[in-house]
Every structure is written in C-alpha cells, then in structure tokens.
Chains A and B, each alone.
Chain A
Amino acid sequence: MSSTVTRTRSPRRLGDLVFSGAAFGASLTILVALAGVAIFLIIQGIPALGAEPSDLNGKPNLLAYTAPLVFGTLWAALIAIVIATPLAIGVALAVSHYAPKRLASPLGYLVDLLAAVPSVVYGLWGIGFLGPRLVPPYEWLDQHLGWLPFFAGPASTTGRTILTAAIVLAIMILPIITAISREIFSQTPRLNEEAALALGATRWEMIRLSVLPYARSGIVSAVMLGLGRAMGETMAVAMVLSASGVVTFNLISATNPSTIAANIALSFADATGLKVNALVATGLVLFVITFVVNFAARAIVSRADRSVSR
C-alpha cells in the first residue's frame, strides 16, 4: 500500500534520475567500446587485403596467411577444452554434491584462485616446469604410439609443444567452467534429486538422472565461455608454444601451428606498414570467431532454457 502511494506521489526523485542516467550511460559505454573496437579492426584491417607476400611472411595473400593461424587457434583451444571439460565437471560435482561441506567451499575457493594467476606466470610455469617434465612422456608416446598422426614425433626436447600449451590453457580455463557448472549443479531442484533417490537411485544415478539433464545447457555455455578464453589467450601461448606456423595434427613435435593471438604478440613489435594491417586483420578474424562462439553459446542456452521451463 505505502509503496504504491510513494510511487504515484513522486514519480521522479533526483536520485532515481541520476541513477538511471548513470546506469544507462554505463551500458552505453560498453556498446561504444565494442563498436569502437570493431570499427578500428575493420578500418585498419581492410588495407591488408592488398598486402604483398613480403608483408605476410612470404604467404601469397591474406587468406593463406590467416588460415594456418585460425587452424592453430581452434586446434589448441579444442585440445584445451577436451582436457578441461571433464576435469571441470568432476571438480564442480565434487564441490556441489560429493565433498563434505567443510571441504567443499575451500576447494571451490582454490579453483577460483586459479583464475587470479596472471597468464605470464602460467607461461613461465609452462616453460620452466611443465614442459621439461613432459619430455619423457612425449618420448614414450613417440616410441609406442608413433603410428598415430597425433604422436608422429620427433618428440620435442624441451616439451614446448602444442599439447603442453593446451594443458596450460586447460588449467587457465578450468576455473571458469568449474564456477559456472558448480552454480548450476547446486541449483538443481531439490525435489528432482530427492525423487530420484526415493526411487532407489544411487548418488551417481541421481546425478545422471536429475542433475546433469538439468544442467546441460549451463555446462554448454560454461564450456563455450572457456573456449572463448582459450582462443583469445595470448601471453601464455606465446611463451610456451614453439610455434612455426605449420598446419599439423602432431601434438608432440617441436614444430607447431601458431595461434592468432600469440602471433600478433610475437610479430607486432617489429612490424611496420601493411604488416601491421595484416596483423590487425587476423585480430578481426579472432574477434569474429570469438563472437560466433559466444553467440552460439547464448543460442544454445536460451533454447535449452525454453525447453526446461516448458
């Protein structure tokens, strides 16, 4: 009663006006920034269409220059996702359903802490710690599974391969996927879970029957967000990966595909003229790919949400 009275009596207070204006302004800033980035990338990238081979590391045209980088970007991100997704879902389930409460929340915080580690630190760790320790496993893979194209070798002597880079990426995207999945798992309707248990389901069966179907769309969007992060990650990849710009599925050799972001970071400092435009053009391609991934995630989530609410 009293709230309706105040609303009709003073429809516009100063505070309301200022706040709505400020909030609206803030949201506009985002739009302006995004549009600004897109416009910059397009304007600076277009001249690269006329780039000569000398500006493109000897590649005949922009497409031939960008294609191996796109491959490397998607390939590294894909491996990272394949490693990170099962791990993240496992951690999220442990936190939300398995671990005793006293253990669960510290575990959750620890995973979140992984997101606070700067990517340069991950890069250093990958070069100095992880890489050298992966050399013996890579040699083993080369000797015993060398018939698979993934492990064709020759094994790298420093361990700075695309698989190492993907493992580092997987650890970097783990907190994103875990955090979102964990939230969704814990939102599973209690009634569904109890109904499954009442029917005699074990805890794993309960999770399979009630938690996972409910959380499916959330998991997908979490994975998509992780994928976006993995594709855009620059510093860690630039440091860890021994990149030569080839197109290969070989995971353990010293000669690896490069990624768009890492290539920009490595080439920009000494680039001049059209070469800068070419790098910006690859940045535009990455921008578009990331957008597509994010839109795909939104589409999947909204479709699944509709089917859940029905």
Chain B
Amino acid sequence: MNMPQNLGRAPRRILVPGITALALGLALSACGASNEGSSSGKSAETLDGAGSSAQESAMDAWRSAFQKDNSNVTVNYDPSGSGAGIEKFNAGGIDFAASDSALNADKGEIDAAKKRCGADAIEVPNYVSPIAVLYNVQGVKDLQLSAKTIAQIFDGKITKWNDAAIAAENKGAKLPSTTISPVHRSDESGTTDNFTDYLEQASEGAWSHPADKVWPIQSGEAANGTSGVVAAVGQGDGSIGYADLSQAGDLSSVKIKAGSAYVAPSAAGAAKAMEASPVEDGRPESDIAIKVDRKSTEAGAYPLLLASYLVACPTYDDAKTADNVKGFLSYVVSTEGQQAGADNAGSAPLPASLQEKAAKIVDTISSKG
C-alpha cells in the first residue's frame, strides 16, 4: 500500500516546484522582453509619432493613405496628448510629434526641440478644426451669442436661460427660465486652451482668466474628454458646453458673434479665420505658429478654432527616416492630405497660403551627411 502511494506522489513532487520555477522564469523573462521591446522594435522602416488626441482621426486617415503608397513603411501614432508628445519628441523617443499648441518658448520647449534636433526644429500647422459651443435647451433653436455673453455664462455670472443679455441677442426666441449648466473638460485639453483663449481675447474683459489647458474656474459641470462633454450636454436640459465640431453629433451649436454678424461653426469659416490671422513673430524660420485672431471681423470667419501643429527635425541621422518623415509630412500638408483629413475628421483644410509655406518648410527635411 505504501509503494503505490509513493509512486503516485513522486511525479507531483517534481511537478509542483517545476511549474513554480517555470512560472517564475516566464515572469522574469517577460519582464526582460518588455524592456527590450522599445529599443529593438524600431527598424528604419517604421515612423513613430505621438501627441495630440484631437488629431487622432485625421492621423488615422493620413497613416493609412501614406502606408498604401509606401507599403514598406509603418507609421505609428500614439494619441497620448500634446504635452506627452512634445516631451517624447524632445527626449528623442519619436520621429515626429503633433501638438495642439505651438512649442512654447517660455517653457523652454523651443530650446529643447533645438537640442534634440541639433538645429531649429520644424513646426508647421497641419490641422485646423472649428470648436462648437453646444447647447441643449428645450424649445430653443438658432441660439446666437457674443463672446461676452458666452464668457459670462461659463463664468457663472449669467445663470438663467431667460437672462436679459441672452434675450437681447435672440430677439423673438422663447427662452425658458431653466438654470444654465455650463459643462467644461475635466482633463487637460487643447480644446480648453483654445476656448479660453477665445474668451479672453474676444469677450471685452468679461473673462478674466488667461488661456490654459486646464479649466480655470472651480464651478460648473466637468466631463472627461470630448465625448464626455457631448454626453453631459446631451443629458442635461439647460446645459451648454464646447467641443470639436466634428464630434458634436445631433446637438445644436451656438452662432457666435464675429464682427457684427453671427457665424455658425464650419470648416470653411475656421479656415477663413486662420487665413486672416498673423504669424507669431520672434520664432525660428522653420517654425510657423499662428496667432489666431479671435476678434477677427472678416466676413464669414469663425474665430473659435483649434490649430494643431506637427513638430519634426530638419535633419535625421539616417536617410531612410529622413525620407519617411519628409514623405509623410509632405503628404499631410498637401492638398490631398488636407482634404483626406477634412473628409475623415471634419477638420478644415489649411488655407492655400499657409499650406504652401508649410510644404516649403517640410521640403527642407534631409539626412545628415
């Protein structure tokens, strides 16, 4: 009786520690493997980018179109956020970055990019998208508001939909006495940055906070991401929020006052406002940053827009990477590329003058030596 029992046990005596050792070994080797992955996985024929999440759907369109024509190249894009993209680019981890705000000289981003590239980095606008002010008020259509009124609403100064300031801009509209519930982004975002910039510049002093990626006031409803804001506005009667026009869905958007007329958000209007805006001066030659004129009075211009940029190096160590970056960026800022972005993401194609400038700068990308 003793013998068979021992025989039965013997395999297990080896099996259990064996499995444990195996599991431990696997776990350790998995650790090792995941560490290696980032360095060894990068061959000459992949192009790595990261940054703006606003550009994600346009970037998808560009990547697939570019890869169709260049089947040996894989373009990776990680929409981890503008800040993270710039940081990774400056650290040398990726080949190009996309950012919702131009490189900031005060934060040392221009210098850091220069250090990474060994020369002034390339920065061109590649994505322009109108931001809509969305609202959900029962029985109200065709709402028109000036930047001043919008600022007062988001600042909590105007709290009812039938406020005199709103009524004055919407003669004949039947405004309910519903409480206004302003919705903002709870995460950091370029959309917030551009919206607060618009309020600061255009509201005639009604908005006292500087432009920032973080919503500056501690009141109102906060929602995570563009989809969160759209959902929150859609759910709450009396809500008003801001989001990329292409994501607005069925919600109505406010016609904002530009000059003396009220303009509905549209890609064409955003492109017009972009064209009328001056280039920021005091920047390197290869760097186009647009100072969007939020007070634009140009007919049909919609000044509440988000301009997003591509950041790359003028030279790369190896010729293949240089060619690929140049090829991809040239495609993105080309007329076809811009149209592909507009078709897929509802963005506004770059105005011709800017597009030409951007293409010229991208064309200078080359390899060292």
The majority secondary structure among interface residues of chain B is mixed
A200 to B216, CA, bound (A): 66
Q: Is there a chain A Cβ closer than 8 Å to B274's Cβ?
A: no
Residue of A at shortest CB range from B14?
A15
Contacts of B216 in A (CB 8 A): 58
Q: Is there a chain B Cβ closer than 8 Å to A198's Cβ?
A: no
Query: Once the chains bind, are B224 and A269 in contact (CB under 8 Å)?
Result: no
Q: Is there a chain B Cβ closer than 8 Å to A277's Cβ?
A: no
Contacts of B2 in A (CB 8 A): 2
A163 to B136, CA, bound (A): 24
Q: Across chains A and B, which 10 residue pairs bring their CB atoms closest together, nearest first?
A: A157-B236, A19-B17, A269-B81, A270-B188, A254-B221, A266-B187, A18-B17, A272-B83, A22-B20, A270-B81
Q: Is there a chain B Cβ closer than 8 Å to A23's Cβ?
A: yes
Q: B184-217 toward A: CB 8 Å interface, digit per residue (1/0)?
A: 0011111000000000000000000000011111
Chain A interface: which of B117-125, B227-235, B254-262, B317-325? Answer: B227-235
Contacts of A238 in B (CB 8 A): 186, 224
A296 to B288, CA, bound (A): 57
Query: Once the chains bind, are B107 and A273 in contact (CB under 8 Å)?
Result: yes
Contacts of B81 in A (CB 8 A): 268-271
Query: Once the chains bind, are B84 and A269 in contact (CB under 8 Å)?
Result: yes
A72 to B86, CA, bound (A): 31
Query: Once the chains bind, are B179 and A154 in contact (CB under 8 Å)?
Result: yes
Chain B interface: which of A89-97, A144-152, A166-174, A241-249? Answer: A241-249
Query: Once the chains bind, are A245 and B218 in contact (CB under 8 Å)?
Result: yes
Q: B69-105 toward A: CB 8 Å interface, digit per residue (1/0)?
A: 0000000000011111011000000000000000000
A246 to B83, CA, bound (A): 25
A154 to B365, CA, bound (A): 56
Q: Is there a chain A Cβ closer than 8 Å to B21's Cβ?
A: yes
Contacts of B213 in A (CB 8 A): 270
Query: Once the chains bind, are B186 and A254 in contact (CB under 8 Å)?
Result: no
Q: Is there a chain B Cβ closer than 8 Å to A44's Cβ?
A: no
Q: A56-92 toward B: CB 8 Å interface, digit per residue (1/0)?
A: 0110000000000000000000000000000000000
Q: With contacts A154-B179, A157-B237, A158-B236 known, what are 12 further pairs, Cβ within 8 A?
A: A15-B17, A18-B20, A22-B21, A22-B24, A29-B24, A157-B179, A244-B218, A255-B220, A266-B188, A270-B84, A270-B188, A271-B83
Residue of B at shortest CB range from A237?
B224
Query: Once the chains bind, are B20 and A266 in contact (CB under 8 Å)?
Result: no
A-contacting residues of B (Cβ < 8 Å)? Answer: 2, 13-14, 16-18, 20-21, 24, 27, 53, 80-84, 86-87, 107, 179, 181, 186-190, 213-224, 228, 231-232, 235-239
Query: Once the chains bind, are A270 and B224 in contact (CB under 8 Å)?
Result: no
Query: Once the chains bind, are A57 and B214 in contact (CB under 8 Å)?
Result: yes
Q: A1-35 toward B: CB 8 Å interface, digit per residue (1/0)?
A: 01000000000011110110111011001000000
Q: A256-271 toward B: CB 8 Å interface, digit per residue (1/0)?
A: 1010000000111111
B19 to chain A, nearest CB (A): 9
Query: Once the chains bind, are A160 and B218 in contact (CB under 8 Å)?
Result: no
Query: Once the chains bind, are B235 and A157 in contact (CB under 8 Å)?
Result: yes
B368 to chain A, nearest CB (A): 27
Q: Is there a chain B Cβ closer than 8 Å to A131's Cβ?
A: yes
Contacts of A23 in B (CB 8 A): 20
Q: Is there a chain B Cβ closer than 8 Å to A132's Cβ?
A: yes
Residue of B at shortest CB range from A273?
B107
A267 to B224, CA, bound (A): 10
Residue of A at shortest CB range from B31?
A29
A302 to B27, CA, bound (A): 33
Query: Once the chains bind, are A18 and B220 in contact (CB under 8 Å)?
Result: no
Contacts of A127 in B (CB 8 A): 228, 231
Query: Once the chains bind, are A255 and B188 in contact (CB under 8 Å)?
Result: no
Contacts of A242 in B (CB 8 A): 186, 221-223, 232
Q: Is there a chain B Cβ closer than 8 Å to A181's Cβ?
A: no
Q: Is there a chain B Cβ closer than 8 Å to A239's Cβ?
A: yes
Query: Once the chains bind, are B232 and A160 in contact (CB under 8 Å)?
Result: yes
A24 to B201, CA, bound (A): 64
A188 to chain B, nearest CB (A): 34
Q: Contacts A19-B16, A239-B228 given; indicate if A270 touches B189 (C-beta within 8 A).
A: yes
A135 to B232, CA, bound (A): 13
Contacts of A14 in B (CB 8 A): 14
Q: A195-238 toward B: CB 8 Å interface, digit per residue (1/0)?
A: 00000000000000000000000000000000000000000001
B300 to chain A, nearest CB (A): 32
